[in-house]
Amino acid sequence: MPLALLAGQSEAPVAGIVEGVVTNGVTGAPIAGARVSLEATEAEPLFARTDADGRFQFANVSPGAYGVGAEKPGLQCDYASRCSMSVTLNADRPGATVAISLKPYAVLSGRVTDFNGLPIARSSITLVKVLGLPDNTFYAHVQVLPDGRKVAQAGGSRTNDRGEFRIPRIPPGTYYLVAEKSSESAWEDSANHTTYYPSAPDLASAKPVEIAAGQQVRADIRVIRQEGVRVTGRFLNLAAPAAAAGNYTYTDVTLVPQGNVLTNPGGPFSRSRSEQFELQGVRPGKYTLLAVTREPRGDASGGDQAPKLAASMAIDVPDRGLDGVQVELQPLRDVRGVVSFLDGCSPVPVRVRARCRNQIGPCGAEAVSESGGSFLLEGSGPGRLAINARGEATTDRRLTLVSAKLGDQDVMDNGFDYPFAGDAVLRVVMGCPANGSWK
Amino acid sequence: MKALFLLVALSAALCAQTITEGDVVDSTTGAPLAGAYVSTRVGEETLAANTDSSGHFRLSLSQPLVGGIQVYRAGFLRSSAVGIGPMRVALTPQAAISGKVLDEDGFPAENVVIEALRFRQINSRRQLKSVGGNTQANDLGEYRLAGLPAGRYYLHVTNPGGRHTAQYYPGTLDLREASVIEVKAGEERDVGIQLVKLEAARVAGQVVLPAGATPVHGIAVSLQTVDSPSGAQFHAPMREDGTFTISRVPPGAYVLRAVSGNYPPAASDLLAEQRVEVGAMDVRGIVLNAHPVETVDLAGTVVFEGGAKPRPVVIGIDSCCRIIAARADANGAFVLKALLPVHYSVKWWQPDLAKPGSPEAAHVVLSAARLGDKELPVSDAGFELDGGSAGPLRITFTAGVALSGKVLDEAGRPVAGATVVFLLPLSGINPAPAGTGSEGVFICSPILPGDYRVYVLPDPDHWELTQDPDYLKAHENDFPPVRVNAGANPSLTLHVPAAQQ
């Protein structure tokens, strides 16, 4: 006998019924005890539980549009879009039958410890997915590794005071797992470094984690501890008045590991109010150095600074550290660009977005192309800018980015470092779908 | 020859080094703690060491220790220490509250946010405040609040976007019916939380726009708690006819706000704000008349009294994301430009403090603020201000009084280790200034003349006690009150009872 719940809207002209069955999407077996919800806009949802045969029923349902969803601990719907099925009841169709399937989901859990085996609290845990078959997920920040594989960040978590983390509902696939200090909290021990599972300094030497559908996987990370070295240097082109303004003008500098796949790699950081800088605790290796000089807006009273000069340069830090690095600051010029279209596509306004990957402070810009295709990306801070573009009008959204070049450099996959020397133009090419296939 | 030179240089370098060493132990058992992270800053540099298996650490410094050491180990409360010679740092084990949050069907309440709240005495008012941040229940409903000092806590559960009203453990809207969970140092307490479906009030009304106004991005209606421990905020879309309904609103004081852009609004955005008191009953029929935001320039004066020498001061105001600052000129005049009619926190700072050669610059204390005819409550850190007024704003600084003294034990010997002396004014809401020192000697930060109660904290790491109303009440008569006069004051001598050391 199915469990039933009255909708309680007795004045409805038609007493409708919404019923159905909830099954296990892997085995096909009925799921008993699932909680099924019937939701309408601006009304409290109604709930029913499935019986031993996985069946449920809502009786006396008023005409209208509803969403029907099901949940049970440890299970998830097949695809997010099918978690809530839409049904509409009216005089012609007073009843609806829905079938919902739920599957066990995969979970990755583990523990992050230091060289002593003690837990590291408040570590940020990031999953980096190796992209393979399409999985209906949109990934921002897709990057191409030197071996041609594409990776993207795909969720994450944070450790508790015991160093434990748990990431549920992971789509099947191959992942890399990274522990790093979280943005709001430094690790106590500054000699601890960002570490890939199981205890690797970078993705190239990390061990991938394979996760199958519904699998419970454990992956513990032992964080690498290495006394860092020092990097010192000076900024060139720091305008004399800016340096004299003293308290209110400063230059921030950080190092981002080359080949970094993380959005916010918490590298060494320093703020300098002079021409000199010093970074401590740097793990030897190859980096991109990012620097930005900020000056106060308006009167020199502090508190509201705007980026004026910046630098992005490659450096290689040896085991003994590095002194005397000369950082050539340059004005943050706007990036000029032009959009063109493949043959057969009508030129339309295109929104070009430059999203920041490695950054030091606010970064990124966007612009809409004018007639003739030209655009200007204004006001970004320094960082690695990855380019994305789409038709500005709702009807042109299916236009897609085909290629992006800065001067001769292909910046389609991994973007470009900003600011850059010279005045290269960003060339963006868009394609359009025709007769179901892409030109 | 070269080798000899190197040797000489090396010996000179070694001679210049000082060694700071000590032991880290568990304060409850006295057992040594291995793997504790001990750090200190010397100039720009951080020096650190880990304790060995016997809990011993050794820091080799290029110059004498100035700022003390910080000590951290997983499972313990952070601590710091100052002193000369071998140090013994006792770490207090953290308390933790953990368990599962289930809904009325026994399903895990994933993503609900749990906080531990504790009473604080802030600006003479008893307020419930979150301790140690919040945590989110995982897909199994599990939560864990760690890093708690021993104390009495309330648990508060919010369900952002969910169908449960924010509630106190065990399932009540009313703090008076909530259970207090008392944890001791090192205690791990398992508290299962059963969410309860609670009927809470609805807040409903209508936004009225100026004739002809059609905001491009619509109007967002929100309800922001005033003085809430969790700063909870509720949102609702405005319907096409301008009406809105916000459900599941727990009792309390709120600001109901309709805004056409983001908050804080920009000039020409539409804004309406109204205070709303919510009890057990629905609040209906509210009319929010939105109008274009107008900015106002607020002129003011900085005044120095009580012998304080005029000095450069910057007045800055902050409304969540944007800071507007102005420097007072030689006559003390300043103008804060383009203020929106929103709530601000006003702060002040002395720009010359960062420059060398201004040793006495810090010795002024913010003593009063007046907006037009209205006196604003101030603390030394700043005060609160509602924008939209033309002012004028008058800010008074008074010469602060330096106070120093000694803490002695019953036998008249200086109390070893770090000392925290804490003064609470008998009237007014100025914050209680504190002084720290080592080996029984302390110097308090500059304060206003007046009468103060005196406290000596049992442990330099228990700063939270300076805001713990129970502690303040229980210890208010430990020492006789002191009167702080303008100008020079005699050094204080405080005798600590043996039990408190």
Average pLDDT of every residue of chain B: 81
Q: Which domains does chain B have, with CATH numbers?
A: 2-91 (2.60.40.1120), 95-194 (2.60.40.1120), 202-291 (2.60.40.1120), 296-399 (2.60.40.1120), 402-500 (2.60.40)
pLDDT of B348 reads: 81
Q: 3.40.1650.10, 3.40.50.1820, 3.40.50.150, 2.60.40.10: which CATH number matches A3-103?
A: 2.60.40.10
- In this complex, do B139 and A166 lie within 8 Å of one another by their Cβ atoms? yes
pLDDT of B462 reads: 67
| Residue that the structure tokens 């609670």 belong to | B198
Q: Are A107-225 and A335-438 equal in CATH topology?
A: yes
Minimum-distance CB partner of B351 among A117, A166, A247: A247
Which chain B residues are within 8 Å of A160, Cβ to Cβ? Answer: 135, 144, 146
Please list, residue by residue across A72-102, b when 16 or more beta carbons sit within 10 angstroms of its beta carbon and e when fewer do: beebbbeeeeebebebebeeeebebebebbb
**Element containing residue B398 per DSSP (H, E):** strand B393-399
Rounded to 5°, angle at Cα A116 from A110 and A117: 25
Minimum-distance CB partner of B146 among A117, A161, A188: A161
> What's the Rg (C-alpha) of chain A?
27
Say whether residue B73 is in contact with chain A using an 8 A CB cutoff: yes
pLDDT of B432 reads: 65
- Look up residue A350 and give its two tokens: 């295109």
pLDDT of A246 reads: 47
pLDDT of B228 reads: 58
- Look up residue A326 and give its two tokens: 């000369």
Closest approach of chain A CAs to the CA of B164, in angstroms? 11
Question: Chain A window 261-290: which residues touch B at a Cβ cutoff of 8 Å?
Answer: 278, 280-281
pLDDT of B153 reads: 93
Which chain A residues are within 8 Å of B326, Cβ to Cβ? Answer: 299, 301
Q: Are B229 and B116 in contact (CB under 8 A)?
A: no
Kindly give the parts of chain A with pLDDT less than 70: 1-14, 79-82, 134-136, 183-186, 239-248, 264, 297-305, 434-439
- In this complex, do B73 and A191 lie within 8 Å of one another by their Cβ atoms? no
Say whether residue A315 is in contact with chain B using an 8 A CB cutoff: no
pLDDT of A206 reads: 95
Residue pairs between chains A and B whose CB atoms are closer than 8 Å: 87
Say whether residue B215 is in contact with chain A using an 8 A CB cutoff: no
| 3-state DSSP assignment of residue A242 | helix
| Residue that the structure tokens 């230091």 belong to | A114
- In this complex, do B245 and A42 lie within 8 Å of one another by their Cβ atoms? yes
Chain B, nearest residue to A119 by Cα = B74
- In this complex, do B138 and A166 lie within 8 Å of one another by their Cβ atoms? yes
Say whether residue A227 is in contact with chain B using an 8 A CB cutoff: no
ipTM of the complex: 0.80
Q: Does the pLDDT of residue B214 top 80, yes or no? A: no
Please list, residue by residue across A129-150, b when 16 or more beta carbons sit within 10 angstroms of its beta carbon and e when fewer do: bbbeeeeeeeeebbbeeeeeee
- What mean pLDDT comes out for the span B20-40? 91
Give pairs for B116-119: CB < 8 Å, separation 24+.
B116/B145, B116/B148, B116/B153, B116/B154, B116/B155, B117/B153, B117/B154, B117/B155, B117/B156, B117/B229, B117/B230, B118/B151, B118/B152, B118/B153, B118/B154, B118/B464, B118/B468, B119/B152, B119/B468, B119/B469, B119/B470
- What mean pLDDT comes out for the span B182-199? 93
Find the distance separating the first CA and the last CA of chain B, reported in whole Å.
58
Domain A335-438 has CATH 2.60.40: yes
- In this complex, do A189 and B74 lie within 8 Å of one another by their Cβ atoms? no
Say whether residue A121 is in contact with chain B using an 8 A CB cutoff: yes
User: Which of A216, A209, A312, A305 has its CA nearest to residue A255?
Assistant: A312
- What mean pLDDT comes out for the span B290-319? 82
d(CA B337, CA B492): 45
Q: Are A155 and A179 in contact (CB under 8 A)?
A: no
d(CA B157, CA B143): 11
Preceding amide of A419 cis, omega within 30:
yes
pLDDT of B170 reads: 95
pLDDT of A360 reads: 81
- In this complex, do A302 and B147 lie within 8 Å of one another by their Cβ atoms? no
Which architecture characterizes domain A229-331 according to CATH? Answer: Sandwich (2.60)
| 3-state DSSP assignment of residue A377 | strand
Q: Does the pLDDT of residue B281 top 70, yes or no? A: yes
Minimum-distance CB partner of B46 among A118, A160, A190: A190
Please list, residue by residue across A42-52, b when 16 or more beta carbons sit within 10 angstroms of its beta carbon and e when fewer do: eeeebbbbbbe
The order of strands in the sheet holding B37-42 is: B45-50, B37-42, B69-72, B79-81
pLDDT of A2 reads: 42
What are the extents of the domains in chain A?
Answer: 3-103, 107-225, 229-331, 335-438
Chain B, nearest residue to A114 by Cα = B35
- Most B CBs within 10 A among A162, A188, A223, hence the mutation to make, goes to A188
pLDDT of B230 reads: 53
Which chain B residues are within 8 Å of A281, Cβ to Cβ? Answer: 46
- What mean pLDDT comes out for the span B139-157? 93
A107-225 fold = Immunoglobulin-like (2.60.40)
Say whether residue A246 is in contact with chain B using an 8 A CB cutoff: yes
Question: Chain A window 292-311: which residues touch B at a Cβ cutoff of 8 Å?
Answer: 299, 301-304
Which chain A residues are within 8 Å of B188, Cβ to Cβ? Answer: none
Q: Does the pLDDT of residue B409 top 50, yes or no? A: yes
d(CA A104, CA A25): 8
Closest approach of chain B CAs to the CA of A411, in angstroms? 34
Chain B, nearest residue to A117 by Cα = B35
Rounded to 5 degrees, φ, ψ at B3 are: -65, -40
pLDDT of B2 reads: 46
Which chain A residues are within 8 Å of B74, Cβ to Cβ? Answer: 118-121, 161-163
Q: Does the pLDDT of residue B352 top 70, yes or no? A: no
Chain A, nearest residue to B51 by Cα = A116
- Check residues B10 and B158 and name the one with the higher pLDDT: B158
Minimum-distance CB partner of B72 among A35, A188, A247: A188
Cα torsion through B127, B128, B132, B138, rounded to 10 = -160
Which chain B residues are within 8 Å of A39, Cβ to Cβ? Answer: none
| Residue that the structure tokens 């969790």 belong to | B230
Q: In this structure, what DSSP letter does residue A223 have?
A: -
- In this complex, do A278 and B323 lie within 8 Å of one another by their Cβ atoms? no
Closest approach of chain B CAs to the CA of A427, in angstroms? 32
pLDDT of B1 reads: 45
